[in-house]
Amino acid sequence: MVSSTLRNSIPKSIVYCQVREAKRSLLDHFFTELGAREIRQLSKLLDEDPAVMERRTNLAKRLELYRSAQAEIDAVAWSK
């Protein structure tokens, strides 16, 4: 019974691992391809309002400023 269970489950496990690795590889390739595109091409792909894209860009800049400010605050707090 144990041998039968192993005989049935091991090939399924192997295929599962192969599919999972292929999925990771495809996602990595997809994100690399997407990241290589220009903003104009991405906005055309998304087909969104230019005002929304501008707002997202401004929010990303603001978030980066907040993160750098937080890093400076943390550096000062740890130096004391």
**Residues 9, 33 within the same domain:** yes
Residue 42: give the domain boundaries: 1-47
Distance, CA of 8 to CA of 12 (rounded, Å): 7
CA angle at 38 for the pair 34 and 43, rounded to the nearest 5°: 80
**Residues 38, 73 within the same domain:** no
**Residues 62, 52 within the same domain:** yes
* pLDDT digits 0-9 by tens, 15-66: 999 999 999 999 999 989 888 888 778 878 888 888 888 898 899 999 999 9
pTM above 0.85, yes or no: no
**Residues 39, 8 within the same domain:** yes
Domain count, the chain: 2
